Structure 1
Amino acid sequence: MRALVLSDFWKLTVDEVPDPEPRPDEVLIEVVATGICGSDLHGFTGENGRRRPGQVMGHETVGRVLAVGAQVPAGTCAVGDAVTVNPVLWCGRCRQCRAGREQACPDKQVIGVTPELVSAFAERMAVPAQNVVRLPDGMPVEHGALVEPLAVGYHALVRGDCGSGDTVLVLGGGPIGQACALAALRMGAERVVVSEPAPARRDLNARLGVAVVDPTTEQDLPAAVATALDGESPTLVVDAVGSAATLATAFACAPLGATVVLVGMGAPAVELAAYEISTKERSVVGSFCYSAAEFRDTAAWAATVPESLAVLIEGRADLDGGPASFGALARGEDPSSKILIYPNGRAAAEASSGRDPDPDPAT
């Protein structure tokens, strides 16, 4: 089969790789679409040290079932079903797994990160049946590739105990910030504002139905945030960037006793103003990934086909267009927040969903 291989940092090639050989407890999937994640871009450039030359990346994916292993429980899925895949592979036996915190499993592997796993920028992939989530008929199949980043945002808002009546500030309007904003709305937040310096991303967030502010033009950002929240201070701040600067901004905007959720991983180490936490009794909460239940819940929510999901997809390419898409995103030449790669081609994907193919497969 063909796959997008990280031949070296800053170099992707479309190569022939061995076909996956599913085990009896696995499902063989024909990949329909896989989203380019920010972590994939950092792996492509070598910035994060979590990808290795020679591997096949990709973890935000949707596909159709080609075969079901003999030991897969009945009713999990059937040949032809549209499915999304939870990329976190957990053991199921440890204390964390038993507590429903599979993302904290000490023996976990992650599709698209663990080098030995041939992942979702490929024509086919084999995955454990417990990681497959069936999607209903009538849901746009490509929306299944959005479930993974949406689950990241949902878990962050769960960690922040977001609920009805909350006013939420999200710092950073990229894909994870967008997922956090949508999760806040999904969980009943009264008002949501996103702070984002890039005009294209501000526009996209506005189309999601949230208020936006430009931090580069506001001399008094806390006041601008309060204005966007109808005179209220945020009860919850989500840092979807993860830098010393954005955490300082979070503290500047958060009132006494507020919670700040750190979900962005823009820097491996940050400097914290300790008094901003202790003397104002703020809580700083980390957020990473999602539980298996949160992933399933997010897939179920996406299956209701919220209009906002179509807004998130700003680019599409086939496998041969993958290297150019990665390069343009990494160099800042393409402002798209989310580009989907179609390993088996757009026409085949559209035909399988009963929709007419886009006449321009590169957009």
Structure 2
Amino acid sequence: MRALVLTDFHHLDVVERDRPAPGPGEVLLRICATGICGSDVHGFTGENGRRIPGQIMGHESSGTIAELGEGVDPGAFPLAAPATFNPVVVPEEHVETHRGREHHAPGKHVIGVAAEVQASFADYVVVPERNVLLLDPRMPLHLGALIEPLAVAVHAVGLGDPAPEEKVLVIGGGPIGQSVVIALQRAGVRDIVLSERDPARRELVTALGAVAVDPAAGGMAERVAEVLGGPADLAIDAVGLSPTMADALAATALGGRVVLVGMGSPRLELPAFAISTEERSILGSFTYSAQDFADATAWIGEHAEEVAPLVSAVVGPEKAQESFAALAAGQGPAGKILVRFDAEGSDAGGSGAEGPGAEESGAEEGAA
């Protein structure tokens, strides 16, 4: 099989590897498409310290069931059925005790992050059957690669718990911010303003139904109040830098909430009085529960046309190096780049050479 190997930082090679075989309780998936996450780009450059040379990355994927390991029910997992996988793998002995908070389980690993586990920038990947979810056969198969970032957004929105009538600010218009807009709409929220510097991304999120503003124009609190008719009740920061958190706090109402899902910096400087004396709450959000992932999977099957605009480029494995290098150099497209491992659709969007930098898109990390 073909696999994209991180042979060295800043360098991916398409190599031939033996096709893996599923063990007891495992499923072999034939990969259709895998999305390039901001964390993959940071792994490509070596910035985040969570990827190593020799590794096969990838965790945002869709495909079809190719083979079942011993003990897997073929009635539940029919061969050739379209499927995706939740990359957060919880040890079997912790599944029940951490149900609903699987991402907090000790000993978990994330496919695409754990160096010893072959991940899904490859023709095939093996995953535990409990992590496999069937897809609606009516949806375009490659769009299943958008489920993982949507699950990140579903979890973040769930923590923010907005009522439909509330006003929400989203900071960052990259793939996670875009997914947050969709997750908010899924929750019934309609008054959404999104802050994003890149004009192509502002255009994309405007097409999704949010009002996009440029933070470089200054006065975020005033801009948000002008668009929403008052301060935001909830802000979701999908960038995670000190200036973006300051904007989130400044633009929310007294007693408002801020959800931090972006990972742009390991340390933040915060205006303390905007939290204490003005009684705002800050909630951290990382990955998702198994239920969040299942909810995103079920929803996307019935709303594929709503998420399709999130894909800006589809490339074959041989163009992956070019796409990763472009993203690392700050030349990525407005939306997601998918690496497609089946023949259909490769290079359907070009490799994407214009748009915002990896500093912004890479700040928006999901499971990884």
- Is TM more than 0.5 here? yes
> For 1:360 and 1:251, how far apart are their aligned partners in 2?
37
Instruction: State whether residues 239 and 261 of structure 1, in contact with CA within 8 Å, keep that contact through their aligned partners in structure 2.
Output: yes
- 1:72 and 1:358, CA in 2 relative to 1: closer, same or farther beyond 3 A? same
1:226 is aligned to: 225
Query: In the alignment, is residue 136 of structure 1 matched against residue 139 of structure 2?
Result: no
Q: After the TM superposition, which residues 230-309 of structure 1 pair with which residues of structure 2 at under 5 Å, given as runs?
A: 231-309=229-307
Q: After the TM superposition, which residues 67-86 of structure 1 pair with which residues of structure 2 at under 5 Å, given as runs?
A: 67-73=67-73, 75-86=75-86
Instruction: State whether residues 237 and 245 of structure 2, in contact with CA within 8 Å, keep that contact through their aligned partners in structure 1.
Output: yes
The Cα shift of 1:343 comes to: 2.1
- 1:195 and 1:97, CA in 2 relative to 1: closer, same or farther beyond 3 A? farther
Instruction: State whether residues 312 and 336 of structure 2, in contact with CA within 8 Å, keep that contact through their aligned partners in structure 1.
Output: yes
The Cα shift of 1:21 comes to: 1.9
SS of equivalent residue, structure 2 residue 255: coil
Q: Deviations over 1:54-102 (max 9, x none)?
A: 0000000000111122312454311010001100001243388434111
Structure 1 runs, 4 residues or longer, greater than 2 Å off? 73-76, 92-99, 305-308, 333-337, 357-363
Q: Deviations over 1:215-251 (max 9, x none)?
A: 112x32211111221x121110000000111111111
Letter in 1 for 2:295: D
SS of equivalent residue, structure 1 residue 162: coil
Q: Deviations over 1:14-49 (max 9, x none)?
A: 111232121120111110000000000011011111
- 1:12 and 1:27, CA in 2 relative to 1: closer, same or farther beyond 3 A? same
> For 1:344 and 1:142, how far apart are their aligned partners in 2?
10
> For 1:203 and 1:62, how far apart are their aligned partners in 2?
27
> For 1:177 and 1:361, how far apart are their aligned partners in 2?
23
Letter in 2 for 1:56: I
Instruction: State whether residues 259 and 282 of structure 1, in contact with CA within 8 Å, keep that contact through their aligned partners in structure 2.
Output: yes
Q: Deviations over 1:165-213 (max 9, x none)?
A: 1211000010111111111111011311100000011001001111110
Query: In the alignment, is residue 27 of structure 1 matched against residue 27 of structure 2?
Result: yes
> For 2:266 and 2:152, how far apart are their aligned partners in 1?
18
- Give me the identity figure in percent: 46
- 1:70 and 1:50, CA in 2 relative to 1: closer, same or farther beyond 3 A? same
Letter in 2 for 1:270: L
Count of matched residue positions in the alignment of Structure 1 and Structure 2: 352
Q: State the TM-score, normalizing by the size of structure 1.
A: 0.93
* RMSD of equivalent CA atoms: 1.7
- 1:360 and 1:209, CA in 2 relative to 1: closer, same or farther beyond 3 A? closer
Q: Deviations over 1:279-318 (max 9, x none)?
A: 1111100000000011011100000024321100000111
Tell me whether 219-228 or 166-175 shows the greater mean CA deviation: 219-228
1:188 is aligned to: 188
> For 1:50 and 1:337, how far apart are their aligned partners in 2?
24
Query: In the alignment, is residue 333 of structure 1 matched against residue 323 of structure 2?
Result: no
Tell me whether 91-100 or 146-155 shows the greater mean CA deviation: 91-100
Instruction: State whether residues 96 and 104 of structure 1, in contact with CA within 8 Å, keep that contact through their aligned partners in structure 2.
Output: no
1:102 is aligned to: 102
1:354 is aligned to: none
2:341 is aligned to: 343
- 1:96 and 1:169, CA in 2 relative to 1: closer, same or farther beyond 3 A? farther
Instruction: State whether residues 76 and 129 of structure 1, in contact with CA within 8 Å, keep that contact through their aligned partners in structure 2.
Output: no
SS of equivalent residue, structure 2 residue 205: helix
- 1:121 and 1:152, CA in 2 relative to 1: closer, same or farther beyond 3 A? same
Structure 2 regions of 5+ residues with no counterpart? Answer: 353-368
Instruction: State whether residues 313 and 349 of structure 2, in contact with CA within 8 Å, keep that contact through their aligned partners in structure 1.
Output: no
Instruction: State whether residues 260 and 284 of structure 2, in contact with CA within 8 Å, keep that contact through their aligned partners in structure 1.
Output: yes
2:359 is aligned to: none
Query: In the alignment, is residue 6 of structure 1 matched against residue 20 of structure 2?
Result: no
- 1:226 and 1:52, CA in 2 relative to 1: closer, same or farther beyond 3 A? same
Query: In the alignment, is residue 310 of structure 1 matched against residue 286 of structure 2?
Result: no
SS of equivalent residue, structure 1 residue 255: strand
Instruction: State whether residues 58 and 111 of structure 1, in contact with CA within 8 Å, keep that contact through their aligned partners in structure 2.
Output: yes
1:114 is aligned to: 114
The Cα shift of 1:7 comes to: 0.7
2:214 is aligned to: 214
The Cα shift of 1:254 comes to: 1.1
> For 1:259 and 1:291, how far apart are their aligned partners in 2?
21
> For 1:211 and 1:81, how far apart are their aligned partners in 2?
38
Tell me whether 95-104 or 202-211 shows the greater mean CA deviation: 95-104
SS of equivalent residue, structure 2 residue 216: coil
Instruction: State whether residues 3 and 343 of structure 1, in contact with CA within 8 Å, keep that contact through their aligned partners in structure 2.
Output: no
Q: State the TM-score, normalizing by the size of structure 2.
A: 0.92
1:353 is aligned to: none
Instruction: State whether residues 102 and 290 of structure 2, in contact with CA within 8 Å, keep that contact through their aligned partners in structure 1.
Output: yes
- 1:95 and 1:275, CA in 2 relative to 1: closer, same or farther beyond 3 A? farther
> For 2:113 and 2:121, how far apart are their aligned partners in 1?
12
